[in-house]
Amino acid sequence: MRLETMVGGERLAVSRNMSRTGLLMAAATLLEVGAPVKITYRGAAEGTAERTIAGRIVRFETNTDDPDGLWPYMVAVEFSDPLPEEP
Q: Give the global pTM.
A: 0.87
> What would the 3-class secondary structure string for the chain be?
CEEEECCCEEEEEEEEEECCCEEEEEECCCCCCCCEEEEEEECCCCCCCEEEEEEEEEEEEECCCCCCCCCCEEEEEEECCCCCCCC
pLDDT digits (tens, 9 = 90+) for 7-62: 778 888 999 999 999 999 999 998 999 999 999 988 777 777 888 999 999 999 99
Residue 64 pLDDT greater than 90, yes or no: yes
Residue 86 pLDDT greater than 70, yes or no: no
| Amino acid 69: pLDDT | 94
pLDDT digits (tens, 9 = 90+) for 26-39: 999 989 999 999 99
